[in-house]
Structure 1
């Protein structure tokens, strides 16, 4: 008994013993670190922590101000805490503490250069890739000039190439002489090309080797490693790669631009008339990673917390080392403002990550039970949060670069491969979490990015995050190793803004079971699937939406791409697009709602895939952007098996086609009766689901809804996204008036209050206090923040703009839904995909059909064989050229469109020709006898 009392006493006293260390911008590293005599630097505090870490709770308090790091802060196992005595680095409550990976440029002697440009000397050897003036990132001299109104691909800040090698690694591309810069570039080798891949899956950077003005070509040097796949810079006309070039001195021609002459150590800047150079603060990034928590699996760094910091101003990473990541499309740089490797039970909370050159938080290789919580990520150069294991942990590891760049044969590599299940080593993130965070407007430089990226990891939890305004995915799972992830209560919209053939949620599963992309026994080895996908991935209670009027039909809300297997998908609200399941095994899709003009995308399933589709509400509404005709079919299958049923559990679903309530189709050629005769949806119904209030975001169904009788269950509509200070609705357009509700941060506690402003200023306890819903009748920008009962701010300021317009134009799917009928598509209408029968083969210009591009392996030119008439198509069938192949060459002549093929039929009439066709990442030569 005495022993127990003694142990209890020791436990209690250990909680009471706590070491506090204080840091202040006005402190002194020769001080003692007390509140009265604080240290001045992070590094000095870090040295002090080692004396007490693991022995007692240590809290390092940072007073308000900016802290410049002259080197990356590396926290090792010697800084570790324990579960009862953690080591905490924290801003003082309410203090605005900024950690900068930059240094200030002091005592600058500006002198006028010419044409509005000023110049000053900077310290020798200081090579920087960004310039911040008064905390605002400036634009490095570039062509075309930065488009502030539309900085995205397609804006005035980009041009399109007229040709290129279109193969990584690219050696050149050509430009339009009439549009390209006429300035003479004396040192073009300083320039960096930022170009989108021709297939538009991401972008790359290259150093310029030289510019040939006579040939209208830019020759390229180092670069192109920032993503995978063979496609590079190229394409023609509207399919051509978009690009800009920066770091060219002669392009310094508008206010806000700068250029660093590293040889002469001179900084050139074109100030705006309102800026006084001698009064401005100039800062330049010098560090890639700001803080590293770095241990090993044998000696991990443990129980360290980073709380309340603003991380900013790190260097770009796009010309650093990148590595291809499995057979996802990605390559990554292992780095981040906070980089974690060999870490356990560590926490990053209430931190903002803004204007960083690379990733926000990166967990690399061995990590366990770490958490990112209540953070904000804005204007990061690449992704917000990444979890990436080591290839050494994967029993059989292949990349696209193995095949497409290094020329290795995937099948040869598979010989004698390890067939043991699960990971080989523990060098990967497991049981880690990112929750209650905000991620928007990231991917400033890299475009193959995500709010949350997961690769070679196990049991990652992604919950209650709000993700929007990004160039590619909101959440991306790169591979099927090793599953067990839970993706829940996230709110994702306005994604895939600068790329294509993707979804707000995207996954790949190209592991040991995946030999190709057809789902056939030849390409997909079912019994291997669970060797890597050892636990199912759960997607539940997410709202994933496409609200844009011009969005691509290939932009799926939930995009399970090549090989993605063992997913359980339920209680998800899909708006504006829908779910795609490509070749994979055992996907359970139930109790979801989809409202969209885009039909369900069931592509190349294996025979007996074990997929299950039940108790869902599927609503077709409006027209696909770019099409005048409203959608009539619920499913668009591509190359699904015909000799077996698609699924043995496809039932109890509710269908409602607002466009065609009675004369709809289930697939492109089956009506409801034919569909049921094949054994599907025998207990399903066609009826209006009876949504409660979709105009205000409530897609629950009424008590009388027939969906409930089928087993569908309502799920909450007010728990999507972060639970910090929130606005309902979150900005947008209105015509007469709009009612705005503000919701307090859940952590505010009893007595919490919300203060807000309507003039763009930051809210304080002296601002307007929120007591009741706000009525707006004019364009207004609202900023709101929660304060606890002591007046201490909690979380981040939430801000949104409400724009008054004469008429709100909704996307076709939403307008049709609220009208209850289709009344036309107000979005831009390009030409529909051309279909034409040629010698018994029904062909489609694949470039005009995003679904087909996506389903066949990403081929964006050629003639897709949609159907073959057995009587008329003998010449194709004799050559064994079957449907779903894409014809791209005839006798080494490129086939862009059906008209090209028709021309070659005439040119080579009566001859046996060689046709190159592609399908599922493979090409094949067929010998065809032309009539």
Structure 2
């Protein structure tokens, strides 16, 4: 045999050997775990398949194929490093192409003997040992018996499904709250201790759950047992009037009084249910969750789980977690539960692809501790109890770790904790997510139980990428970066809107950076140690090419599109389209904001910058248009500055921006009382201009500027307007109201290259290859529920069904900023006919009722009562200055008595005239006493 023939034979043998090193197993509902797991003889369960995976993992390419069906897990599937694949021999768990494979963390209740109880309620005896907090009838989540009853038309905070407390301790951990007896339930609760209180914190930064200890109707109080750990900060249940906490109570038997409610008596194992008319419970699918995490990948940095992929599954029906362990996360405001339908800890190069996460009790995907190069791609998250995707490292990886609970709940002294702190840079251990990605995914209507949640939550992580995600309809953030450890994240091409629907003082994108450099929030030298910033914020965070919109009135303060809060440092923010609100920069270092577009009635929020912040603002298009939601006064100024330095320039690079105020094209102000000429005399925007940017077609969402735009001459560069959000099957526009007709276009899933086709329906039915075939943009003239899906040339569905509701109305209501932009002029009355925050002078101090000024609430640390000191006259205000007071303090108490507003302060100044009083001021999370003689 010649040498060349030997080489050919060896190559052939190697190819055959490689082909043989691939093993397929199959799982089917009709299978049997005694089978061999072949295509013709499949296994029956997930658990059986992973036994074979363990034998071969890392030695051969292993694929476990699931035929269509619903698979119930009676225990969490946990995969350790022994199940790891390799780059050459990965392990994949996948649905058969086109098959609908559902993984449930629940148990099907069969052969129930339903009997009439009373008032339309039925009851059934369940087997012992069950302990569940959700009930699904025919795959639809039902409502646990509650007061007030669930409001299906408006289930959000403020709807009929909530009430407001009349008072409370307003201090975690809360001991009680009081209620209004005229609106509270008139039913007598035999066992109130079964009940769970779901209440928003008085500042509306999130919600909490508490068990009930007892209800005292004579005192009109609900006394609370354990709970309240679901967020940070000291504020609890309380507040007065319109600012009082909202709440509902569930799991109360006597409140089982409307259809679709249920109650489970754990003592008797009796399930009570009030069915809708026409529901046949004897033939209904009845399911209850039994698991919290469905899949766990659990390794360590030393022995990680590697190269495992989950593809094409629906994960659903897990237990809620809000009464489980939560932990405060650094000095962000949040607390988290480390768990998820798919939970990764100590994982590398693992993927979750094309999976659907729906009606879960907790988080969707949670990456905890050590994670590297993992990816969540082309997934959908809807009706999760908590966040969609979370990346959270361990506190032990942080060299200096503090939480708000340390100070406000445990009473630790932050200053004492600083002593002897580790001053080395970088992480302390590898126990954090790094170089992980969430991309091309849809996240909406999540946060069913927890309200301090996000589509993407990042904490104690490095170089996380969130790209091409569509995030909307959520109670708090679209994307939240909880802390500045360790930066390097890329947030790009996301489409975010309708966020912060139930909370306040937040943004669709929100960040904090309260690490070693952050000692307060005033931007002063002793509050912000610049030289320490890079110890934790190792790499810049990049926010680019996102569309972030705010179409509604914010719940309380802010709701900025991009909200860089306390200490957020080293950000590059460019090529972002901000609609309906603007960018906020609070105290931090080296934020570059350039080549962005903002169109809004909300001024830019420049708050509490350090004296030498190194911030740069250049080559942006800033458009002011219309009136702030809830007001009728057109916005005049571009910037609402709060407590910025006055003795030096704010920035060394603030130039080449384009300004256009449609409300006041010739008489606008840059900041309050400062016109454009005066602004330039201060040294800012020397090469800027005020002119119409000439957007191409804002009605169709194209805010690129025309070739003759003055913005281009300033150095602005157009960026793509058709790349925002996910790239699966898309409907444009994404539903909404129209009056005569609306033009709708469909885009196919980009993952299908050849022969793809979109089929759609207009009646809400599921599209198939026999449905309407899409060819070109189509005019809709009547209301429709449009559903569309991409199919391959072989007729297999790809990805998820895209759905949008179009409603024909007489007249479409648009926000003021949009109406003004399209009209080219403000359409309302320019008279100042709305109530503004009250200002008054007292002894040389200009005071503002802070409760009436959301921007000040946000800028001073969240204080929503008291008198904000806007300025103090050097001569007339000697009384305040001698006491050590200065501007930006909020006066909240005199001799221990609460000062709600200016009227209170004026009253007490008369009462204590000529006397020395103790005055309590608050500023930036600090309270201080001052001695003043009125």
TM-score range, shorter chain: over 0.9
Pairs aligned (count):
929
- Counterpart contact for 2:198–2:248, Cα < 8 Å: yes
- Tell which deviates more after alignment, 610-619 or 17-26: 17-26
118, 125, 133: which one aligns with 1:121 = 125
Whether 1:463 and 2:460 are equivalent positions in the alignment is: no
1:873-913 alpha-carbon deviations (Å, 9 max, x no partner): 22111212111000100111101111111111122122111
- Measured in 2, the distance between the counterparts of 1:383 and 1:824 equals 40
Alignment of 1:633-782 (within 5 A): 633-782=637-786
Alignment of 1:579-590 (within 5 A): 579-590=583-594
526, 533, 536: which one aligns with 1:529 = 533
488, 497, 501: which one aligns with 1:497 = 501
- Measured in 1, the distance between the counterparts of 2:691 and 2:550 equals 24
- Measured in 1, the distance between the counterparts of 2:845 and 2:811 equals 46
TM-score, L = length of structure 1: 0.98
3-state SS of 1:756 partner: strand
**Unaligned runs of at least 5 residues, structure 2:** none
Whether 1:78 and 2:94 are equivalent positions in the alignment is: no
Residue in 2 that maps onto 1:212? 216
Alignment of 1:787-798 (within 5 A): 787-798=791-802
1:621-647 alpha-carbon deviations (Å, 9 max, x no partner): 011112221111011111011122100
3-state SS of 1:51 partner: helix
19, 26, 29: which one aligns with 2:23 = 19
- The Cα of 1:11 is off from its aligned counterpart by 7.2
- Measured in 1, the distance between the counterparts of 2:422 and 2:712 equals 48
1:401-437 alpha-carbon deviations (Å, 9 max, x no partner): 0000000000100101001111000000000000000
- Measured in 2, the distance between the counterparts of 1:56 and 1:774 equals 50
Whether 1:897 and 2:907 are equivalent positions in the alignment is: no
- Measured in 1, the distance between the counterparts of 2:835 and 2:683 equals 37
3-state SS of 1:637 partner: strand
Residue in 2 that maps onto 1:329? 333
242, 254, 266: which one aligns with 2:246 = 242
- Tell which deviates more after alignment, 263-272 or 864-873: 864-873
199, 207, 213: which one aligns with 1:195 = 199
Residue in 2 that maps onto 1:393? 397
Whether 1:818 and 2:822 are equivalent positions in the alignment is: yes
- Measured in 2, the distance between the counterparts of 1:570 and 1:12 equals 52
**Residue 909 to residue 723, structure 1, CA distance change in 2 (3 Å):** same
**Residue 845 to residue 674, structure 1, CA distance change in 2 (3 Å):** same
- The Cα of 1:824 is off from its aligned counterpart by 1.9
1:69-109 alpha-carbon deviations (Å, 9 max, x no partner): 00000011111111011100000000000000000111101
- Counterpart contact for 1:626–1:830, Cα < 8 Å: no
- The Cα of 1:748 is off from its aligned counterpart by 1.7
Whether 1:347 and 2:347 are equivalent positions in the alignment is: no
- Counterpart contact for 1:15–1:85, Cα < 8 Å: no
**Unaligned runs of at least 5 residues, structure 1:** none
Whether 1:865 and 2:874 are equivalent positions in the alignment is: no
396, 402, 407: which one aligns with 1:403 = 407
1:541-591 alpha-carbon deviations (Å, 9 max, x no partner): 000001225665611000000000000000000000000000000000000
3-state SS of 1:339 partner: strand
- Measured in 2, the distance between the counterparts of 1:791 and 1:833 equals 61
- Measured in 1, the distance between the counterparts of 2:690 and 2:231 equals 45
**Residue 268 to residue 868, structure 1, CA distance change in 2 (3 Å):** same
- The Cα of 1:830 is off from its aligned counterpart by 7.1
Residue in 2 that maps onto 1:56? 60
Residue in 2 that maps onto 1:439? 443
- Tell which deviates more after alignment, 874-883 or 114-123: 874-883
**Residue 693 to residue 794, structure 1, CA distance change in 2 (3 Å):** same
3-state SS of 2:132 partner: coil
Residue in 2 that maps onto 1:151? 155
- Tell which deviates more after alignment, 667-676 or 92-101: 667-676
1:447-471 alpha-carbon deviations (Å, 9 max, x no partner): 0000000000000010000000000
3-state SS of 1:748 partner: coil
- Measured in 2, the distance between the counterparts of 1:726 and 1:8 equals 46
Residue in 2 that maps onto 1:366? 370
Whether 1:597 and 2:601 are equivalent positions in the alignment is: yes
CA RMSD, Structure 1 to Structure 2 (Å):
1.5
1:378-414 alpha-carbon deviations (Å, 9 max, x no partner): 0000000000000000000000000000000001001
- Tell which deviates more after alignment, 212-221 or 844-853: 844-853
- Tell which deviates more after alignment, 896-905 or 829-838: 829-838
- Counterpart contact for 1:639–1:884, Cα < 8 Å: yes
1:723-758 alpha-carbon deviations (Å, 9 max, x no partner): 000011110111110010000000121110000011
- Tell which deviates more after alignment, 585-594 or 668-677: 668-677
- Counterpart contact for 2:501–2:554, Cα < 8 Å: no
1:471-517 alpha-carbon deviations (Å, 9 max, x no partner): 00000000000000000000000000000000000000000000000
- Measured in 1, the distance between the counterparts of 2:244 and 2:107 equals 40
Residue in 2 that maps onto 1:302? 306
Residue in 2 that maps onto 1:886? 890
- The Cα of 1:236 is off from its aligned counterpart by 0.3
- Measured in 1, the distance between the counterparts of 2:13 and 2:647 equals 72
- Measured in 2, the distance between the counterparts of 1:389 and 1:921 equals 26
540, 547, 564: which one aligns with 2:544 = 540
- Measured in 2, the distance between the counterparts of 1:471 and 1:371 equals 25
- Counterpart contact for 2:115–2:122, Cα < 8 Å: yes
- Counterpart contact for 2:633–2:833, Cα < 8 Å: no
- Counterpart contact for 1:847–1:853, Cα < 8 Å: yes
- The Cα of 1:829 is off from its aligned counterpart by 9.3
- Measured in 2, the distance between the counterparts of 1:41 and 1:825 equals 68
Whether 1:784 and 2:801 are equivalent positions in the alignment is: no
